[in-house]
Structure 1
């Protein structure tokens, strides 16, 4: 199912956070949003999963204006992993994952055999089935993140929205999660900070700067030294991955400074002279 952000604008406290953002996420593709901190990425996603009402513009899922749907129907279309997806309640892992079925149930309706199997499969895919009876508050940050992704998959959404899903994950689970997302066959809009992971996982990338879309296209079209310099303020080289050909960003750190103690001693000497 296609997702379209159509002219979204958001102001918070009188300041423009997202400016006339239009972005298409074709059916079954993974589209990444990247940009500096404060560029409006998470705010745009909040409009998609209806945690925030845009001041202008619409979000379309297929031919439906998302704001015209009930929250229950919206949740059947769109599942989200947000940066604020934690819980202070010590549910077990299997209870948290089962919450993904809530939009499809009526009242206190029990899970069917199919739904229990669906939840178990989601836990297996995210490597948390062995934690099913553990309380989520006992888990590490990475384990908890994987549980929340399993909950989102158990929701059987048509569109999956992920805000920095690789936070807290080790390298293995970052790669496994994005491989799973890429192979899920559903429409995905994901915010990522790691540009090399975005290049590997995303069909297309949109770049935000100060709330506006400044570039959109394939990773090869978007990830260029000129754009990295303009948007992120960094000097970097971009080379093809030796196996996949995906663009890979090689960062250039500034020259190594002198030893910290010599720097501090020079500063102390300068301060003594001034006094």
Structure 2
């Protein structure tokens, strides 16, 4: 399924949070959206999973406008992991994962054998099977993140929208998740802060700044020192992974000022 953001604009308080954004995610490909804080990444993704209605422009699924679909129908095609994903109810992990079947069921129908097997596979893929009977309220941030990704997979979507999916995950689970996405065959649009992870996992990268698209293309085309300096305000050297040849960034840390001498520090109150 092809996903297209066409001239997408979102305005709030007289300001364009996203300004005429055009991004295409071909069927089965992974496109990463990167940019500084406040560049419009999450706002654009919210329009795709319909938490936000764009001021103008459109989101297209295989050429059909997303706004023309019923919410249940779009939820059968698109699953999302949001930055605000929280579960405050005292559900077990198994119950939370099963909620991914909601767009496909009516009322309180029990899960079929196929659906139970689907939940089991998703929990196994995300390494949360051992947590099945635990309350989500007792989980660490990384464990909860993996549970919510499993819930998204149980929707059997054709499109995954992931807003910072590696947040809270340790390195092993970051690599496992991104490796799974690479081989999943799903159409994936993901916002990532880590440019090196984006370079390793994404087929192409869209760079945003102040709500506008700066450039897009293959990681090797996009991630260069000039762009990193212009968009992110830092100096970086590009090296290449010894096996995959994916570009990787080594950042130059700005020198810090020397500590003030002890006799220059203000005196504290006398005892």
**Any stretches of 5+ residues in structure 1 without a counterpart?**
270-275
Q: What is the SS of the residue equivalent to 2:121?
A: helix
Q: CA offsets per residue over residues 194-240 of structure 1, 9 Å max, x none?
A: 00000000000000000000010000000000000000000110111
Match of 1:266 among 252, 264, 267: 264
Structure 2 Cα separation of the partners of residues 186 and 141 of structure 1: 25
Structure 2 Cα separation of the partners of residues 161 and 29 of structure 1: 12
* RMSD, aligned CA: 1.2
Q: Determine the structure 1 residue equivalent to 2:201.
A: 201
Structure 2 Cα separation of the partners of residues 254 and 101 of structure 1: 49
1:12 CA displacement: 1.4
1:255 CA displacement: 2.3
Q: What is the SS of the residue equivalent to 2:24?
A: strand
Alignment TM-score, normalising by the size of structure 2:
0.96
Q: CA offsets per residue over residues 99-125 of structure 1, 9 Å max, x none?
A: 000000112222110010001100000
Q: CA offsets per residue over residues 138-184 of structure 1, 9 Å max, x none?
A: 00000000000000001000100000011111111111111111111
Q: Determine the structure 2 residue equivalent to 1:21.
A: 21
Q: Determine the structure 1 residue equivalent to 2:130.
A: 130
Pairing 1:139–2:139 present: yes
Q: Determine the structure 2 residue equivalent to 1:165.
A: 165
Q: Determine the structure 2 residue equivalent to 1:98.
A: 98
1:266 CA displacement: 3.4
1:186 CA displacement: 0.5
Pairing 1:107–2:107 present: yes
**Any stretches of 5+ residues in structure 2 without a counterpart?**
none
Pairing 1:80–2:83 present: no
Aligned length: 267
Structure 1 Cα separation of the partners of residues 193 and 265 of structure 2: 36
Structure 2 Cα separation of the partners of residues 141 and 57 of structure 1: 35
Q: What is the SS of the residue equivalent to 2:184?
A: coil
1:256 CA displacement: 4.3
Q: Determine the structure 2 residue equivalent to 1:273.
A: none
Q: Determine the structure 2 residue equivalent to 1:40.
A: 40
Q: CA offsets per residue over residues 76-110 of structure 1, 9 Å max, x none?
A: 01000001111110100010000000000112222
1:267 CA displacement: 5.7
Q: What is the SS of the residue equivalent to 1:221?
A: helix
Structure 2 Cα separation of the partners of residues 203 and 47 of structure 1: 22
Q: 5 Å matches for 1:161-240? A: 161-240=161-240
Q: Determine the structure 2 residue equivalent to 1:60.
A: 60
Q: Determine the structure 2 residue equivalent to 1:117.
A: 117
Structure 1 Cα separation of the partners of residues 49 and 133 of structure 2: 29
Q: Indicate how the Cα distance of structure 1 residues 132 and 229 shifts in structure 2: closer, same or farther if over 3 A, else same.
A: same
Structure 2 Cα separation of the partners of residues 137 and 99 of structure 1: 16
Structure 2 Cα separation of the partners of residues 64 and 160 of structure 1: 17
